Structure 1
Amino acid sequence: MTTRRIVVGYDRSDDAKAAAAWALDEASRTGAPVEFLYAYEWPVWAPTASMVPATSIWPDGETDRAIKDTLNTAVADAKQNFPAVRTTLSLVYADAAVTLIDRSAEASLVVLGSRGHSAVAGLLGSVSAAVSAHAHCPVVVVRGQPAGGPVVAGVDDSASARSAAFFAADQALARRAPLRLLRAWKPVTGLWEATPLVTRQVTSTERQSFDELVAIVRDKYPGLEIVADAVVDHPADALAKASATAQLLVVGSRGRGAVRSALLGSVSQHLLRHSACTVVVIHNA
C-alpha cells in the first residue's frame, strides 16, 4: 500500500464533494491519507484616493472561519463514511495552481472536481490546465456520475503511453473491471481522402508498437480482462465516445516543461471538457 497522500482541491461545491468521494474511495483501497486543500488568493487592492477606506488585504475572521468550517465538515463526513482513511485539512492563502503543483511533488494523486466555487475547483479554466500539465503526479478530474464499465486507456507512441496503460491496468484490477486499451489514428483528409490509397484501415505495420504495448500489459496482468482496439478516428473523438460507457478514462500528458506551456495537448484538453466519465492525466516518469 502507498503512504503518499492524495490531495483534494476542495470547496463547498457539489463537484468538489464528488472529487472528495472519489479520493476517499481510492484511499480506502490503497491506504493513502487524504489531504483536503483549500487554496486561494485574497484580492489585494487599495484605492488611489487616500480618503477612500481601503479594503482588507487579508481574509477577515468571518471568511477564515467559514472556510475552516467547510473543511472541518468535509473531514467529519469522511470519518463517518470512510473511518479507516486518515484525513487532514489545509488552508493556504496562495495561488491555487502553484500550491497544487507544489503539493503534487509529494502526492500520489491530485484530485479535482470539474467545476467549483473557488479557484481550486474551477477546473475548466487556467488552474486545471496548469495543474494537469505541470503536476508531478497523476491528476484526476472527476466528471459525470459514478458508474460501471471498463477502465479505458488512450495510448499512442508517446513516452507516457506505457505509464497510462499501467495506471489504467492497476485501476481496472482494483475495481474488478475490464481494461480497454484504445489507440486511434487520425483519418486522412483533404486531397488524398477520396483516393484508393486511403483504406481507412489500420495496417499491421502501423499497429505494431500498439500490439507490443498490449502484449506487455497482458504479460504483466495475466488475470485481467483486456480488450485492445485500434481505430481510424480522431483520438479526441474516439476517447470521448469511449468515455460514454467507461468508469474511468486515462490519458498521458506531454510533460511539464515550460516550453510546452501551461496547456495540455488538444486531446487532453478536449477530454477535460467533454468526457462523460472521470479523467486521469498521467505524466512521464
Structure 2
Amino acid sequence: MATTNVIVVGVDGSESALNAARWAAAEAKRRGLGLRVVHVWGVTGGYYGGGLPLPASAFDVLKQEAERVLDQAVEAARQTEPDLPVTGDMPCLAPIPHLVELSRTARMIVLGSTGRGGFTGMLVGSTTVAVSTHAHCPVAVIRGQEHTGPVVVGIDGSQAGEPAIEAAFDAAAQREVPLVALHVWSDLDYDSAFGSTRYLAGGEGLGEEEQRVLAEALAGWQEKYPDVVVQRVVLNDRPRHQLLEWSKRAALVVVGCRGRGGFRGLLLGSTSQALIHHAECPVLITRGS
C-alpha cells in the first residue's frame, strides 16, 4: 500500500487523547503533513450482552457521544495549529484492528498514554500497548511533556535500529535541538552472553568496542544532517534506566520496536515497553524492516 502524507491520531475522549491530538497537530505542521483525527466507537456489530441487538435509542446516544469526542479532539488540534489541514473520522469498528490497519498507510500513529477506561494505577491503556506492538509505521506515545531539551535516541547497533536513528535525526532537525545518541551496554545483555566478539573482549577493550558500535551506527547520518549537533554517550548500564533518566529533560525519546537481543516473534522489546509505561516525555517507537 502507498503511504499517505497524513499523521493519524487516535482519540477516545480522555485528557491524554486530547494531549495526543495537540502533539500530533504540532508534529504534522513541522513535517508539512495533514492530520487525521480518528475516534473508533460503538458496540462492534451493533450487538451487546448475549448477542441481543442494540436498541436504536442507545445506538443514537453512543453516536452523539462519539461526535462530541471527535469534535472536541479536532478542535484541540485546530487550536494548536490553525492553518493545519485536519479531518475527522469516527468509524463504528473495533479500535485496535482499525488503528493497526490505518498504520499500513499512515506516516505515524499518535496515541495518548492512558485511555478513558483506564483504572487508577494503570500506566498505559490497552489500545496503546496493542497498537505500539503491532503497527506497521512509527507510533508516538504521548507521555509527560515535551521538554526543551534534546531529542534522545537509543542505539544498539542492530539493523532493526536504523529507522530509529533516521527518525531521531529528522526530529532533532525539525525542532532545531541537539541529538543525544545514547548507546548503553550491559555485561548481562544477550549479546554479551552469546556474542563471541563481546565475550572475548574485556575491560577497556569492551568499552572501545562499544564506542565503535556507536560510531558505525551514526556513520553517514551526521553528513546528511549537518546542522544537527550530536552528543555521543556510551555507558555501561541498563538501557531502559538511562533512557528513562533522559526522558526527564528530553523533547522526545526515540527507540526501535525491538532491541539487539530481541527474539524472533518478540514484537516489542523490554526497553520500548518500559518507556511507554514510565517515560516522562513523548516516546516514538519505530519499526524495523
TM-score range (shorter-chain normalised) is 0.7 to 0.9
CA contact (8 A) 1:113 1:123 kept: no
Instruction: Give the structure 1 partner of residue 158 of structure 2.
Output: 158
TM-score, with normalisation over the residues of structure 1? 0.84
Matches within 5 A, 1:107-126: 107-118=106-117, 124-126=124-126
Counterpart amino acid of 1:145? Q
Matches within 5 A, 1:172-191: 172-188=172-188
Counterpart amino acid of 1:155? I
CA–CA distance in structure 1, aligned partners of residues 215 and 274 of structure 2: 26
| Higher relative helix content | 2
Instruction: Give the structure 2 partner of residue 84 of structure 1.
Output: 83
CA contact (8 A) 2:114 2:128 kept: no
| Selected match of 2:239 from 212, 235, 238 | 235
Displacement of 1:145: 1.9
TM-score, with normalisation over the residues of structure 2? 0.83
| Selected match of 2:221 from 217, 224, 237 | 217
Instruction: Give the structure 1 partner of residue 48 of structure 2.
Output: 45
CA–CA distance in structure 2, aligned partners of residues 80 and 15 of structure 1: 17
Query: 1:201/1:271 Cα in 2 relative to 1: closer, same or farther (>3 Å)?
Result: farther
Query: 1:47/1:78 Cα in 2 relative to 1: closer, same or farther (>3 Å)?
Result: closer
Instruction: Give the structure 2 partner of residue 260 of structure 1.
Output: 265
| Selected match of 2:54 from 33, 43, 56 | 56
Structure 1 unaligned regions, length at least 5: 49-53
CA–CA distance in structure 2, aligned partners of residues 159 and 68 of structure 1: 43
CA–CA distance in structure 2, aligned partners of residues 201 and 25 of structure 1: 44
CA deviations on 1:34-68 (whole Å, 9 max, x unpaired) are 111111451643459xxxxx562776111201211
1:279 aligns with 2:283: yes
Q: Secondary structure at the match of 1:130?
A: helix
- Coordinate RMSD, CA, aligned: 2.7
Displacement of 1:278: 0.5
CA deviations on 1:182-214 (whole Å, 9 max, x unpaired) are 01111359xx9xxxx964884222332211122
CA–CA distance in structure 2, aligned partners of residues 201 and 64 of structure 1: 63
CA contact (8 A) 1:12 1:117 kept: yes
CA contact (8 A) 1:41 1:96 kept: no
Q: Secondary structure at the match of 1:105?
A: coil
Displacement of 1:73: 2.8
1:36 aligns with 2:37: yes
CA contact (8 A) 2:254 2:284 kept: yes
Query: 1:152/1:57 Cα in 2 relative to 1: closer, same or farther (>3 Å)?
Result: farther
Displacement of 1:103: 0.3
CA–CA distance in structure 1, aligned partners of residues 233 and 55 of structure 2: 55
CA–CA distance in structure 2, aligned partners of residues 46 and 98 of structure 1: 21
Q: Which sits farther off after the overlay, 238-247 or 18-27?
A: 238-247
CA–CA distance in structure 2, aligned partners of residues 165 and 11 of structure 1: 31
Query: 1:80/1:279 Cα in 2 relative to 1: closer, same or farther (>3 Å)?
Result: closer
Q: Secondary structure at the match of 2:111?
A: strand
CA contact (8 A) 2:155 2:217 kept: no
| Selected match of 1:250 from 237, 254, 265 | 254
Displacement of 1:238: 1.5
CA contact (8 A) 2:4 2:105 kept: no
Total equivalences in the alignment: 267
CA contact (8 A) 1:104 1:135 kept: yes
Counterpart amino acid of 1:254? R
CA contact (8 A) 1:202 1:230 kept: no
Counterpart amino acid of 2:146? P
Counterpart amino acid of 1:75? V
Query: 1:272/1:201 Cα in 2 relative to 1: closer, same or farther (>3 Å)?
Result: farther
Instruction: Give the structure 1 partner of residue 5 of structure 2.
Output: 4
Displacement of 1:166: 1.2
Query: 1:57/1:153 Cα in 2 relative to 1: closer, same or farther (>3 Å)?
Result: farther
